[in-house]
Chain A
Amino acid sequence: MSVASARQRATTVPVLGDGPANDDGPRTRSLLRFITCGSVDDGKSTLIGRILYETGAVFEDQLGTLKRDSRKFGTQGDKIDFALLVDGLTAEREQGITIDVAYRYFSTPQRAFIVADTPGHEQYTRNMATGASTADLAVILVDARLGLLKQTLRHSFIVSLVGVRHVVVAINKMDLVGYDEAVFERICADYRAATAALGFAQITFIPVSARDGDNVTTRSAAMRWYRGEPLLAHLETVSWENPEQDHQGAVLPVQWVNRPDSGFRGYSGNLAQGQLKPGDAVAILPSGRTSHIARILAPAGEVGNASAGQALTVTLTNEIDISRGDVIVDAARRPPVQQSLEARLLWTSEVPLAQGQRYALKLASAHAHATVSTLHFSIDVASLAPVSAATLAMNDIGKVTIALDRPIAVLPFAASTQLGGFILVDMISHETVAFGFVEAATAAPSAVASPGRTGRLAAFRSALQHFVGPAGSLARTKTAGTIAGHGITGAVLGVCVYGATESLGTALLVAAVDWVFRPLILSAASILAQRIWLRRDHRNRLASENVLGDGI
């Protein structure tokens, strides 16, 4: 089949609906994703249930079930227990707590909302972090009677860690403190002081009573001293888009290679940031090869311009070997390619971190084998201070150095969620053991420097670091022993040479050369052997991925 006819066939595959391009919806509303979090019994589920009810997202038949369940499991006496609207699992209803994230949907004429109701119990922190990771804004509940609790601060920290920059602090149960303004003001001041270091762009405080609906959807008559908007009105009008993202270079992680026939070879993925148009000069990372964008297919068909968030398939002007895990980027603004990462980890597994163990890392569409070579410290969530740690247990947050078996394109998490957020997966149990957040790179890369070279330098450094081992570790002790052993063998060789030549100078020279070069040659050979093994292992693994990536 000729290229032309293949392309024609390719473009005439029918779509189920014969609809127009969906650039202009009937009602173009924006979408706000937010989470509610806070300590146990702060009334998160009650608040969500109340909003769902008052925005008409609860139907009559569901209300019937709710009234029945309120009598059976409820904690509000004869009143409707709105928490039962969201606590969907039997175990949750029986225990009266939220275990897992529940996603709920409602809309007003202004906006569509997706809300993640997240658990308050510390043991379910990973579920809370999951809900927060996709949120644009967090509503943090505080019980007015209790003020800030450890869990309030922990959640605020995790919310900031996963990249949420807009926070609403809903001070709940105001009815139980006599709607006292002084209580409200004190909690506001405490919260501002406690979270000053977290870098939130905006914090809004609202006094509410979720149970009675004060300041939830309507202004409270009991708290006339509060001059701000009720919670729902704030959520309808708040703006959260990060204006800095307009100026970022295009980043398209290649998710899948679309090759329906010999005439078409496209690279599919969602544009993580920036914009793309046909003719743009692009680089492929990690290889660093360059090309230009030929065509862009968006959901609505072929387009002349694509912006961040869109699901695309692009073709390039020349044939380059690209597979899943590669990243197509603006050639002038390339993210660094690294084989060693400085990162924060939020540990999500009951099995603690094992330094030196290999984990599977997934960052955007890239997969690599990762080893935590150094655990620098863990972070105390109440004081935000670093504390020394031997390992990370479930819900711990720590700063680590990670060595990878192959170079990948990354950006600091603060600059890019997509190229800075990753997960670690246990290779045997397949459990997701950690969420990771890339921090500013150690090997400062320049936009124009050859990424290959930076990659190699970082690779050598990380391999050396891996070989020497972290302070106090068995590997470090072994290294020290080996160096001492080399000293002894060097000295023995020197003595032998002196015995044979009776020349002190020659003996010292031979001993010194042996002492310096032997470990170097041995280390280099060991690192080389390791690199060859990893590359071979990597190639075997990639081969199987390519088969899938090409859509067979």
Chain B
Amino acid sequence: MIALSHLQKLEAEAIFILREVVATCANPVLLYSIGKDSAVLLHLAMKAFSPGKPPFPLLHVDTTWKFREMIALRDETAAWLGLDLIVHINHDGVKAGINPIASGSRIHTDVMKTQGLKQALDAHGFDAAFGGARRDEEKTRAKERVFSLRSADHRWDPKNQRPEPWSLFNTAKKAGESFRVFPLSNWTEADVWDYIALERIPVVPLYFAAPRPVVRRGDAWIMRDDDRLPLQPGEVVETRMVRFRTLGCYPLTGAIESDATTLTDIIAEMRASQSSERQGRVIDHDGSGSMEQKKQEGYF
């Protein structure tokens, strides 16, 4: 008997979860947010349903403030794999002039991401949505189930989660209820990078260090991806060797100074690092319980 390695066990578990959803839910969708976790999730989905294609579309909730390189990879990937890609923009939010600079990170994330996601799920009647969230990312996520039940208005009830013994997922739900499903629940940031290296999965070039135009804001380097980012008095755009550990909306995502230009460099840098990957995410720092609150409101 060949004992499976740690990554092979995680891979088998994720594929099992992907298939379980397709076998028990009527209308699943994969939330594709273009980052490294989404890339791994999509790669696993291609494997799970091989030799066929994944029997569900991809959904990207576009806040209109994503890095341009992310959008390019998104369109290229969907076309190359021949998958349906649904891009949803909350046009009400755009009309109301919501943006991360004037409205602040909290309102921007709520309107463009959380409300946008709910609109898209409701409009297409999706009853299960795969996400690439991992339990090691954040304390509230550590308590989340693999099959996370949401009420008809997408709320999460953290005190009333269904137990998930062994790999027996209770997939029963009432009309209007839906699942958020996290096949990568048990993966860590290190596992994701090891797997990307092992399987040679393409990721957004922004993860690799390159000279990029950035400005210093607080403790973070913010990349000026286009000229919508107004400069504050005294700010100067500099070109520095930077890369991103995590990718979100560009004005809300801090880069780190780095010389890591290859996967091997990235993995080595991550192992030596003394800060968590979500440090660069502005929205997590709105208060200690803030992720729990956002999730209750329907955020992924």
Measured CB to CB, the closest approach of chain A to B156, in angstroms, equals 11
Which residues of A sit under 8 angstroms from B186, Cβ to Cβ?
A: 103, 105, 114
Given the known inter-chain contacts A19-B198, A99-B159, A548-B25, please indicate yes or no for A61 contacting B52, CB distance below 8 A. no
Q: When the two chains form their complex, are residues B276 and A16 in contact, meaning their CB atoms are under 8 A apart?
A: no
Which residues of A sit under 8 angstroms from B22, Cβ to Cβ?
A: 256, 548, 551
Which among A16, A264, A362 is the interface contact of B170 at CB below 8 angstroms?
Answer: A362
Q: When the two chains form their complex, are residues A162 and B165 in contact, meaning their CB atoms are under 8 A apart?
A: yes
Q: When the two chains form their complex, are residues A308 and B1 in contact, meaning their CB atoms are under 8 A apart?
A: yes
Q: Does B75 contact A (CB under 8 A)?
A: no
Q: Majority SS of interface residues in chain A?
A: mixed
Q: When the two chains form their complex, are residues B202 and A88 in contact, meaning their CB atoms are under 8 A apart?
A: no
Q: Which of B7-15, B112-120, B208-216, B230-238 contacts A (4 or more CB under 8 A)?
A: B7-15
Q: When the two chains form their complex, are residues B9 and A31 in contact, meaning their CB atoms are under 8 A apart?
A: yes
Q: Does A39 contact B (CB under 8 A)?
A: no
Which residues of B sit under 8 angstroms from A241, Cβ to Cβ?
A: 3
Which among A17, A100, A324 is the interface contact of B158 at CB below 8 angstroms?
Answer: A100
Q: Does B101 contact A (CB under 8 A)?
A: no
Q: Does A126 contact B (CB under 8 A)?
A: yes
Number of B residues contacting the other chain (C-beta, 8 Å)?
81
Number of A residues contacting the other chain (C-beta, 8 Å)?
95
Given the known inter-chain contacts A16-B81, A421-B165, please indicate yes or no for A552 contacting B55, CB distance below 8 A. yes
Q: Does A217 contact B (CB under 8 A)?
A: no
Given the known inter-chain contacts A60-B274, A264-B51, A311-B15, please indicate yes or no for A130 contacting B173, CB distance below 8 A. no
Closest residue of B by beta carbon distance from A305: B2
| Assembled-state Cα–Cα distance A261/B53 (Å) | 11
Given the known inter-chain contacts A29-B6, A297-B51, A309-B12, please indicate yes or no for A129 contacting B163, CB distance below 8 A. yes
Which residues of A sit under 8 angstroms from B81, Cβ to Cβ?
A: 14, 16
Which residues of B sit under 8 angstroms from A112, Cβ to Cβ?
A: 6, 191
Which residues of A sit under 8 angstroms from B170, Cβ to Cβ?
A: 362, 423, 425, 430, 432
Closest residue of A by beta carbon distance from B43: A16
Q: When the two chains form their complex, are residues B6 and A311 in contact, meaning their CB atoms are under 8 A apart?
A: no
Which residues of B sit under 8 angstroms from A432, Cβ to Cβ?
A: 162-163, 170
Q: Does B139 contact A (CB under 8 A)?
A: yes
Which residues of chain B from 9 to 29 have a CB within 8 Å of any chain A CB? Answer: 9-12, 15-16, 19-20, 22-26
Which residues of chain B from 236 to 250 have a CB within 8 Å of any chain A CB? Answer: none
Which residues of A sit under 8 angstroms from B80, Cβ to Cβ?
A: 14
Which residues of chain B from 178 to 206 have a CB within 8 Å of any chain A CB? Answer: 185-186, 188, 190-191, 194-202
| Assembled-state Cα–Cα distance A148/B198 (Å) | 47
Q: When the two chains form their complex, are residues A22 and B55 in contact, meaning their CB atoms are under 8 A apart?
A: no
Which residues of A sit under 8 angstroms from B1, Cβ to Cβ?
A: 245-246, 275, 307-308
| Assembled-state Cα–Cα distance A93/B292 (Å) | 12
Which residues of A sit under 8 angstroms from B140, Cβ to Cβ?
A: 88-89
Closest residue of B by beta carbon distance from A114: B186
Q: When the two chains form their complex, are residues B197 and A26 in contact, meaning their CB atoms are under 8 A apart?
A: yes
Q: Does B4 contact A (CB under 8 A)?
A: yes
Q: When the two chains form their complex, are residues B174 and A430 in contact, meaning their CB atoms are under 8 A apart?
A: yes
Which residues of A sit under 8 angstroms from B26, Cβ to Cβ?
A: 548
Measured CB to CB, the closest approach of chain B to A74, in angstroms, equals 13
Which residues of chain A from 1 to 48 have a CB within 8 Å of any chain B CB? Answer: 7, 10-11, 13-20, 22-23, 25-31
Given the known inter-chain contacts A421-B165, A423-B170, please indicate yes or no for A258 contacting B49, CB distance below 8 A. yes
Which among A16, A130, A269 is the interface contact of B77 at CB below 8 angstroms?
Answer: A16
| Assembled-state Cα–Cα distance A127/B164 (Å) | 9
Q: Does B103 contact A (CB under 8 A)?
A: no
Number of A-B contacts (CB under 8 A): 239
Q: Does A65 contact B (CB under 8 A)?
A: yes
Q: When the two chains form their complex, are residues B24 and A548 in contact, meaning their CB atoms are under 8 A apart?
A: yes
Given the known inter-chain contacts A61-B276, A423-B165, please indicate yes or no for A260 contacting B23, CB distance below 8 A. no
| Assembled-state Cα–Cα distance A246/B26 (Å) | 38
Measured CB to CB, the closest approach of chain A to B158, in angstroms, equals 6
Q: When the two chains form their complex, are residues B5 and A30 in contact, meaning their CB atoms are under 8 A apart?
A: yes
Q: Does A465 contact B (CB under 8 A)?
A: no
Q: Does B142 contact A (CB under 8 A)?
A: yes
Q: Does A213 contact B (CB under 8 A)?
A: no
Which residues of B sit under 8 angstroms from A348, Cβ to Cβ?
A: 163
Measured CB to CB, the closest approach of chain B to A219, in angstroms, equals 26
Closest residue of A by beta carbon distance from B186: A114
Q: When the two chains form their complex, are residues A61 and B279 in contact, meaning their CB atoms are under 8 A apart?
A: yes
| Assembled-state Cα–Cα distance A360/B276 (Å) | 42
| Assembled-state Cα–Cα distance A287/B16 (Å) | 24
Which residues of A sit under 8 angstroms from B141, Cβ to Cβ?
A: 88
Q: When the two chains form their complex, are residues B46 and A15 in contact, meaning their CB atoms are under 8 A apart?
A: yes
Measured CB to CB, the closest approach of chain A to B290, in angstroms, equals 10
Q: Does B262 contact A (CB under 8 A)?
A: no
Q: When the two chains form their complex, are residues B188 and A105 in contact, meaning their CB atoms are under 8 A apart?
A: yes
Which residues of B sit under 8 angstroms from A313, Cβ to Cβ?
A: 50
Which residues of B sit under 8 angstroms from A86, Cβ to Cβ?
A: 139, 142
Which residues of B sit under 8 angstroms from A417, Cβ to Cβ?
A: 166
Q: When the two chains form their complex, are residues A88 and B142 in contact, meaning their CB atoms are under 8 A apart?
A: yes
Q: When the two chains form their complex, are residues B23 and A548 in contact, meaning their CB atoms are under 8 A apart?
A: yes
Q: When the two chains form their complex, are residues B12 and A255 in contact, meaning their CB atoms are under 8 A apart?
A: no
Q: Does B42 contact A (CB under 8 A)?
A: yes
Q: When the two chains form their complex, are residues B135 and A105 in contact, meaning their CB atoms are under 8 A apart?
A: yes
Q: Does B47 contact A (CB under 8 A)?
A: yes
Given the known inter-chain contacts A59-B274, A88-B139, A421-B166, please indicate yes or no for A19 contacting B20, CB distance below 8 A. no
Which residues of A sit under 8 angstroms from B50, Cβ to Cβ?
A: 13, 15, 297, 313
A–B pairs, 24, beta carbons within 8 Å:
A10-B52, A15-B43, A16-B39, A22-B195, A22-B199, A30-B5, A59-B275, A69-B288, A93-B288, A102-B142, A105-B188, A134-B165, A134-B166, A134-B167, A256-B19, A264-B52, A268-B48, A299-B11, A310-B12, A362-B170, A430-B172, A435-B163, A548-B23, A548-B24
The 9 closest A-B pairs by CB, nearest first: A260-B52, A88-B139, A19-B199, A17-B201, A10-B51, A311-B15, A17-B199, A133-B165, A430-B172
